Homo-oligomer: A and B are copies of this chain.
């Protein structure tokens, strides 16, 4: 296994219905992360939740099931994450962004 290195876990909490230039915001963020050469990105969909506006979204209510919570996770070095944050500042009009310490124990490409 590689020597563990200190990294950062960036987590972006947005809504499925959020848009960026006529495109789903989550899609725009994942594509940009790839274009900017980030180590990886994973988008996960929650089935229930609420955020900044405190509307409750749930798969149980049809009307609110089209804006389910989405979490995008990006792991990379602190430098790469810091270069990526200004894009998010522009793109994310509503949401929560957190940063956590994460030790990268293995990063292996086939």
Residues of chain A at the chain B interface (Cβ within 8 Å): 1, 4, 7, 9-11, 13, 26-27, 30-31, 33-34, 39-54, 56, 69, 71, 73, 75, 85-86, 88-89, 92-110
Contacts and interface: CB of A to CB of B under 8 A. Distances in A.
A51 B9 CA distance: 14
In the complex, the count of this chain's copies comes to 3
Contact of A47 (B1, B45, B100): B45
Contacts of A109: 52-53, 94
A96 B100 contact: no
Nearest to A52: B109
A33 B48 CA distance: 12
Contacts of A41: 49-50
Contacts of A75: 13, 96, 98
A13 B94 CA distance: 27
A58 B23 CA distance: 15
Contacts of A107: 52, 96-97
